[in-house]
Amino acid sequence: MLTERLAPIRFLLTDVDGVLTDGRLYFDHAGNETKVFHVLDGAAFAYWHRSGFQSGLLSGRDCPAVVHRAESSGIEEVHLGKLDKLPALLDIQTRHGLELDEIAYIGDDLLDLPVLRKVGFSATPPNGRPELREFVHYVTKTPGGFGAVREVVEMILKAKGLWEQIMATDGRP
């Protein structure tokens, strides 16, 4: 049952492009890459951290805008430019003293498969590659870049009985 998978989760790890963004890449006239992030996902990280949990980003691409978003969202672990994502997952697991079933991962493409297969809870947004659906525990209703991370965070916090605390303060700290 999904609730039993969600209850042990203590660490949220997510891909960036296609999960925290809609997957499109934006370049300005000088060739600098920019990203568009949704405020719902930013609030999700705030609720997650206020509930006492940690988070990280794991991306095959490297972009300074991602580092800035991570810093402004309180995301502790940022691993960019990782085409082989499994070593980063195992490093995070070891350094944080986690079991794999205590880690959730949201990914949208084939590079995410090794991590999706290992963690306790895995999800992909509906705009993710269809091949991933047979390997994940959940397909979000919300597309990547539009609150898919928020959807997963709410699910986990509800499974842990912690969402009521967020609601009791109207989302305020």
pLDDT, one tens digit per residue, over 123-165 is 999 999 999 999 999 999 999 999 999 999 999 999 999 999 9
Task: State how far the Cα of 137 lies from the Cα of 86, in Å rounded to an integer.
Answer: 18
What is the residue whose two structure tokens read 């609601």?
167
Task: State how far the Cα of 97 lies from the Cα of 126, in Å rounded to an integer.
Answer: 32
Q: Is the pLDDT of residue 18 over 90?
A: yes
Its pTM stands at: 0.96
3-state secondary structure at position 40: helix
What does the pLDDT average to over 43-64? 97
Task: State how far the Cα of 51 lies from the Cα of 70, in Å rounded to an integer.
Answer: 18
Q: Is the pLDDT of residue 173 over 90?
A: no
Q: Is the pLDDT of residue 122 over 90?
A: yes
Q: Is the pLDDT of residue 42 over 90?
A: yes
If phi > 0 it is left, if psi is from -120 to 50 it is alpha, else beta; for residue 19 that is alpha
Q: Is the pLDDT of residue 1 over 90?
A: no
**Can you give 117-149 as a three-state secondary structure string?**
HHCCEEEECCCCCHHHHHCCCEECCCCCCCCHH
Amino acid making up residue 33:
E
- Give the CA angle between residues 72, 78, 82 to the nearest 5°: 145
Q: What pLDDT, on the 0 to 100 scale, is given for residue 75? A: 98
- What are the pLDDT digits (tens) for 68-115? 999 999 999 999 999 999 999 999 999 999 999 999 999 999 999 999
Q: What is the mean pLDDT of the chain?
A: 97
pLDDT band at 63, cuts 50/70/90?
A: very high
